[in-house]
Chains A and B, each alone.
Chain A
Amino acid sequence: MRWIVPLDEIKDEDLPRVGGKCIALFQLARRGFNVPAACCVPVTAYDHYIDGCGLRERILMELSRKDLKEMRWEEIWDASLRIRNLFLRGPAIGEVFPEIRAFLEDRFPETPVVVRSSSPEEDSRESSFAGIHESFVNVRGVDSIERHVKLVWASLWSDSAILYRQELHLDPALSAMAVIVQELIQGERSGVVFSRSPNRSHEGVLEAVYGLNQGLVDGVVQPDRWVFDRETLRVVSHSPAPRDHFLTVNPEGVRTAPAPPRMKRWPPLKKKEVCRLASLSLKSEKVFGMPQDMEWTIAMGRLWILQSRPITSIGGTDDRDKRRWYLSLKRSFENLKQLRNRIESELIPGMIADAVKLGDVNLEHLNDRQLCEEIFRRSDVEKKWAAVYWEEFIPFAHGMRLFGQVYNDVMRPDDPYEFVALLAGSSLESVRRNEMLEAMASMVRQDEGLRRKLTMGRHLDAGEAFLRLIDGFIGEFGDLSCPVTGAVQCDQGPEALVRMVLELAEGPSPSKRIPQRDVEQLEEAFLSRFPGERRREAVELLDLARASYRLRDDDNIHLGRIEARKLAAVSEANRRINRKGRLDVPPDLQERLAAFLAADGELSTLRSHGNGGVPGERLQLKPRQLVGQPAGPGICRGAARVIRETADLVRFKKGEVLVCDAVDPNMTFVVPLASGIVERRGGMLIHGAIIAREYGLPCVTGVPDVIRWVCTGDSLTVDGYLGIVTVGAAHSS
């Protein structure tokens, strides 16, 4: 068995072994196209590696914790990160395949290379995986090449790859990956040529940038764009780009650099060169018998073809192509920085302004018709922001993940989520709120008189210092009796808050969290791996990851406020309907509103449905052991407190296990009382998981329908090491 094959020894029938990208390169080379020197680590090596290390089953077990279709994107992220860590921590390629190492030492001892994926599934006529799997540009030295081969293998299991393969109904168990190691051509100008435009079949499209092609492919550098006529090769149009920066090589890897004036002034290609590339793309189309998307670069005046793949039937601008969204989950650092800027300066202020504007309307002053219109208006605003949430905020969450990958690459920790400790911090509003609560509880612990007064409901006699704290807390965070989001209509006084403080004071001060000193040491250990200029980049990346974490929390709160505005209008309508039977509006509006309220009503019925026990003929079903994912290490046993409405929170007793659909940032004031956390929403980087880690609580997330299966009072054992929740005492079955 050969574990590495030079390009010129590949045969036509090798497609299942070397993948689509590799076979295309071989065919181009055979027909005289100028392609860089390359070799292929075939699919058989991947299979041999994962079987030999026991990775195959571990990967599939990661993906079968629950039905893949039921996994949220965050859970798929997590599974994918754990799988990536399995590859990183697996044996070195050279240990398993001495032949590969010897070959690379001979061919690419110091030559910079590109390490590219070439999966047999990708780049076929039916499916394009363009951009879904990883490619690494400017990799130097055999150790580094070997490590990057493993990272390309791991990218077979990236979140976007898993989701996209699911979309195409491809069986994960049959997925495999070949890898191309290709000499890096350090082009001064690069681009992509589409032999046929997705929109106009008689035209082709050419895109070009200064510097390396990866800048264009990753969307970091905007390209100049030419449309050409396929018959005459004549340029039909040219759309210039700003050309303010370009991608170039670092000692290892790549970076963007500001463009010098000559680049800004002149497009990267002359008309003659556009014609030549157009002609080459048509030639490549003839070779493969279908329209091609061909990547090229020009170095020292010489044109190189880097890869060519078919333009797929579902590619281009087709709305059915979900690949664009999956790709949006995988962002570069530069791209995330731009996104951060837009979110911080434009989107979040926009959401706040919309919430304020909606809140300015006094619903009681509206007549029925106006109220109806206001409901639809609020619903439209909510939909608009929900779309922004998917399009912009969720992809920005990749900032945390990108940091996690870099952290794991350099630190190779036992726990792939060790990096989370660096994201959490006192800047979180919810943590600050808990510290204020603890300050009050601490006063009660030290003052028996105060405790007695509060227990007897005499909080007005609690003394100036305590009342100041209470007022300050309510001013900032409300009185804890309000709905989680919105918090506009409840004003019930401080009773709920006082009850919570008394409950907190029952136990010792929570020994909270990861000590700041440990976090600082961890941060320094991470940053010290980046010498010189690279340290600044690592600091920037950490800062971005922290912003990504904070903003992910904030966007939930802001979106929640807008949702609360809509719900306030809906409940005003419901109130009027209950009072007088119907709203006084024209029939068409009546009908539209009825449909709207029915949809909303169905939602609340689903959510409020409680007990897991169901009537059956003679069979009664109840959970014994529920599997989620381990999101906070530790083990605890306690009574469940299932949170279905706000009132459940203020009934929380010390030592109970917080069981909920999704931990909202506004809900976490009960966390210092909890012995563990269980939630339906899955993920390691969601709020519940991070707050649990901060307080050192066992946490299991992603337990399907947990608030339906578990009832308040059920005895639970939460195993945060394995992600298992056991219902009932150990001897009960």
Chain B
Amino acid sequence: MVIGKQKAVFINEMRDLLEHQRLAVLSTHDQGVPHASLVAFCAGEDLTWIAFATLRSTRKYSNLKAEPRAALLIDSRTNRESDFRTARALTAKGCVEEAGEGDLLRIIPLYLSKHPQLEDFVKSPSCALMVMRVESYDLVERFQNVMEVCVTP
């Protein structure tokens, strides 16, 4: 089953990006005014959610409160020419909400195992842990090859 094998390859590539990249570009908007920001993230093993932390005073936080739909871009660029053929980019799209009690207990240890230096930041009362429930991913590789992966609820 060629397709089955390819699916496994794509999913491994996605997992690899989500595990090894530290930062993602978060894209939000405020009544049509776009905004992009870097966030430190971690992702669920089943690839259905991605979490990041932000201060409640930030523009991204207020944007997400008003419009939870957002996109996250995670990529393996190295700022070299070879990026055009070797870099991969994963765009995750979905709705973002602040983590509830249960999520906090489950996600914070994962988040801190990836970003231990952010312990003070993430545990500060002024900081919110946000979780994107991913609806779909676009995986781009070899410059133009794009696969869409839909996440069923």
* CB atoms of A625 and B149 under 8 A apart: no
Q: Which of B6-14, B17-25, B100-108, B109-117 contacts its partner?
A: B6-14
Interface size on B, residues (CB 8 A): 30
Q: How far is the CA of A64 from the CA of B145 in the complex (A)?
A: 11
Stretch at the interface among B35-43, B50-58, B60-68, B81-89: B81-89
Q: CA–CA, A61 to B82, complex, Å? A: 8
User: Which of the listed residues A57, A619, A622, A733 has the most CB atoms from chain B within 10 Å of its own CB?
Assistant: A619
- How many angstroms between the C-alpha atoms of A724 and B148 in the bound complex? 15
One of A403-411, A478-486, A544-552, A610-618 contacting the partner: A610-618
Distance in angstroms between the alpha carbons of A624 and B149 in the assembled complex: 9
Nearest CB in chain A: distance from B3 CB, A: 5
Chain A residues with CB below 8 A from B85, complex form: 57, 60-61, 64
Expressed in whole angstroms, the Cα–Cα distance for A614 and B136 within the complex equals 15
User: What per-residue 1/0 map shows which CB atoms of B98-138 lie under 8 Å from chain A?
Assistant: 00000000000000000000000000000000000000101
Bound CA span A612–B148, Å: 11
- The yes or no answer to A527 lying at the interface (CB within 8 A) is no
The answer to whether B82 and A733 touch across the interface, beta carbons within 8 angstroms, is: no
Once the chains bind, are A621 and B82 in contact (CB under 8 Å)?
no
Name the contact of B4 in the complex, choosing from A614, A619, A724 (C-beta under 8 A). Answer: A614
| Closest residue on chain A to residue B46 by CB atoms | A618
Selected from A614, A627, A724, the residue in CB contact (under 8 A) with B7 is A614
CB pair A705 B3 closer than 8 Å: yes
* A337 interfacial by beta-carbon distance below 8 Å: no
**Chain A, Cβ-Cβ closest to B14:** A619
Q: Is the CB of B7 within 8 A of A624?
A: no
B152 at the interface (CB under 8 A from A): yes
Closest to B144 in A: A627
For B150, give its contact among A66, A620, A708, A722 (CB under 8 Å): A620
Closest to B83 in A: A57
Contact pick for B6, options A56, A66, A620, A705, CB 8 Å? A705
Least CB distance, B47 to chain A, in whole angstroms: 7
Question: Is A609 an interface position by the 8 A CB rule?
Answer: yes
Q: Kindly state the separation between the CA atoms of A733 and B146 in the bound complex, as whole angstroms.
A: 11
| CB-based contact B142/A612 at 8 Å | no
Residues of A within 8 A of B138 (CB): 624, 733
Interchain CB contact under 8 A, A617 and B46: yes
Q: Would you call A499 an interface residue if the criterion is a C-beta within 8 Å of the partner chain's C-beta atoms?
A: no
- Name B148's contact: one of A606, A618, A624 (CB within 8 Å): A624
User: Is A627 a contact of B150 with CB atoms below 8 Å?
Assistant: no
Do residues A60 and B144 form an inter-chain contact, with CB atoms below 8 A? no
Are A623 and B142 within 8 A (Cβ)?
A: no
Complexed CA–CA distance, A722 and B4 (Å): 28
Q: Are A722 and B144 in contact (CB under 8 A)?
A: yes
Task: Give Cα A621–Cα B10 distance, bound, in whole angstroms.
Answer: 9
What distance in Å separates the Cβ of A580 from its nearest Cβ neighbour in chain B?
33
Name the distance in Å between A320's Cβ and chain B's nearest Cβ. 29
B2 to chain A, nearest CB (A): 6
For B4, the closest partner residue in chain A by CB is A614
- Residues of B contacting A620 in the complex (Cβ-Cβ under 8 angstroms): 149-152
B82 engages A619 (CB within 8 Å): no
> What's the nearest-Cβ distance from chain A to residue B65, in Å?
26
Cβ of A619 and Cβ of B142 under 8 Å apart? Answer: no
Contact B48 A618 (CB under 8 A): yes
Q: Residue A619 contacts which of B2, B81, B144, B151 (CB distance < 8 angstroms)?
A: B151
Given A619-B151, A623-B148, A708 contacting B82 (CB threshold 8 A) = no
- Structural contact, B143 and A627, CB atoms closer than 8 A: yes
The smallest beta-carbon distance between A516 and chain B, in angstroms, is 36
The residues of A that contact B86 with a CB separation of less than 8 Å are 64
Closest Cβ–Cβ distance, residue A69 to chain B (whole Å): 14
With CB as the reference atom, state the residue of chain A lying closest to B85. A64
In the bound complex, CA of A129 to CA of B47 (Å)? 48
Chain A 543-569 interface mask (CB, 8 Å, partner B; 1/0): 000000000000000000000000000
Asked whether any CB of chain B lies closer than 8 Å to the CB of A496, the reply is no
A57-B81, A57-B84, A708-B3 known; A625 vs B145 contact (CB < 8 Å): yes
Q: Closest residue of chain B to A67, judged by CB? A: B142
Please list the 7 inter-chain residue pairs (A to B) with the smallest Cβ-Cβ separation, ordered nearest first: A625-B146, A624-B146, A64-B85, A624-B148, A620-B150, A57-B81, A627-B145
12 contacts between A and B (CB under 8 A): A66-B142, A606-B2, A614-B4, A614-B7, A618-B151, A619-B149, A621-B10, A622-B148, A624-B147, A625-B140, A705-B3, A724-B144
Query: Which B residues form the contact surface with A (CB < 8 A)?
Result: 1-4, 6-7, 10-11, 46-48, 81-82, 84-86, 136, 138, 140, 142-152
Instruction: Given A606-B2, A620-B150, output 9 extra A-B contacts at Cβ < 8 Å.
Output: A609-B3, A612-B3, A619-B152, A620-B149, A621-B3, A624-B138, A705-B6, A708-B3, A709-B3
